[in-house]
Amino acid sequence: MAPLMAPGKLNRKDVIDYFIPQNLLQGYDSRGRARVLVGLLLVYFFTLFICLIYIAFLSPFAGNVLVTGEVILTISLVCFCGLLFYFNRSGEFHQTCQLTTFTILLIVSSGVFFTGGIEQSSITPLFVIAPAVSLILLGHRGFVQWVILSLSVFAVFVALRYLGYAFPQNVDPAHEFETRIFVFVFGYAATLCIVLVYEATTQRLAGERDIEQARFEYFATHDELTMLPNRSRFKSVLENTVLYKSRRIPGDKVALIFIDLDGFKPINDTYGHQAGDKVLIETGLRLRSCIRVSDIVARQGGDEFTIMLDHIQKEEDLAAIAEKIIQCLSEPITFKNSQVAVSASLGIALFPDHTDQLDKLWHCADSAMYYCKKHKKGWVVYQPSQDNILN
């Protein structure tokens, strides 16, 4: 049976994830919400930066409107940059979301104040941005909160207007049309950014969910260190193969091989667990190279492995395979600047020659392996007299 490949691991460290604290990257929900927050902050930062470049060098604005625009945009850039690093350092998601929404509302309110108030300012429609952002970041409860706050600020402007307060008007009437176009484009871009960031984050999170689910399902039946099938998966395949043989191919044989590494513990004790892991991984790779596509190799746990050989015609066929495995595993393994080596003891049982029952077949191979290990024979085929070795 051809080995399966493990699903790929998540790519944690992209641009957005660098700003997210480690603890928020662990769960799906916290990771998704944090990415939306950071994504919005980054997008708004670069959007405002482009606006600042346009106003400073390309726009027809001059005088007070130019200075006011540059000041508001510069302060906004500093605020968004500060929020990114505050979130990265503190990990306070809810508080950062509140500060982000407050910053947006403050920016819009400042723009409205310095461009003639709600009656004359072309920035007034941008009051909807803060509640929209709060809905994405804070949910329905936060949305209601920021709708009330935005309406309250709007009501203050209305009250000031009826009280006769004269708002500063820094927009030259000659450039009123250009200002409205600029605000429309910025508002459209800001709204589009909210939608795109949320959609991209949702799709990415769904993809990561699928990857994690695939990894979970894979490692439920495979060993995480060697990527070989585990004991449960191996026994399931063996059981299905034996059942199929007994019903449809009565003359075909199946060999079960138990393998125990000799000399593994001293390597672990001398060179550490990293060396032991290297030996186990290399052993799995070498065992795979010794079997056919129709066969399967698995790690049982510790330094024990099992192999199922399908389509065995006679017991004599096992000698060449066993010698090949022993020779392959005896080759030295390089660990750092050292050469380490292990040997192996193989116990072999045949279905249906030794037994036609799966549990008994497992017992026969186990008995043969312990007999081989005790007598240092390299490999042996099961004999009934070997049963006493386990008693």
Token pair recorded at residue 323: 């010698």
- Stretches in the chain below the pLDDT threshold 50: 1-12
Instruction: Return the pLDDT at 3.
Output: 42
Instruction: Return the pLDDT at 20.
Output: 86
The reply to whether CATH 3.40.50.800 applies to domain 231-390 is: no
Residue 372: exposure state from Cβ atoms within 10 A (0-12, 13-18, ≥19):
buried
Order of all β-strands in the sheet with 253-262: 296-301, 304-312, 253-262, 343-351, 379-381
Question: β-strand 253-262 against 343-351: which pairing, if any?
Answer: antiparallel
Instruction: Return the pLDDT at 390.
Output: 52
- How do the domains of the chain map onto residue ranges? 16-217, 231-390
DSSP secondary structure string for all residues of 47-75: HHHHHHHIIIIISS--THHHHHHHHHHHH
Residue 160: exposure state from Cβ atoms within 10 A (0-12, 13-18, ≥19):
middle
The model's pLDDT over 122-174, given as tens digits with 9 standing for 90+, comes to 888 888 889 988 988 888 999 999 999 999 999 999 999 889 888 887 766 66
Instruction: Return the pLDDT at 231.
Output: 92
Instruction: Return the pLDDT at 249.
Output: 66
Instruction: Identify whether the C-beta of residue 66 lies closer than 8 Å to the C-beta of residue 51.
Output: no
Instruction: Return the pLDDT at 51.
Output: 81
Q: In whole numbers, what is the pLDDT of the chain averaged over residues? A: 84
Euclidean distance between CA atoms 256 and 291, whole angstroms: 13
Euclidean distance between CA atoms 223 and 231, whole angstroms: 9
Instruction: Identify whether the C-beta of residue 18 lies closer than 8 Å to the C-beta of residue 168.
Output: no
Instruction: Return the pLDDT at 171.
Output: 67
Instruction: Return the pLDDT at 11.
Output: 47
Instruction: Return the pLDDT at 388.
Output: 66
Euclidean distance between CA atoms 260 and 2, whole angstroms: 22
pTM: 0.60
Instruction: Return the pLDDT at 207.
Output: 79
Instruction: Return the pLDDT at 174.
Output: 67
What is the maximum alpha-carbon separation in the chain? 109
Euclidean distance between CA atoms 166 and 278, whole angstroms: 77
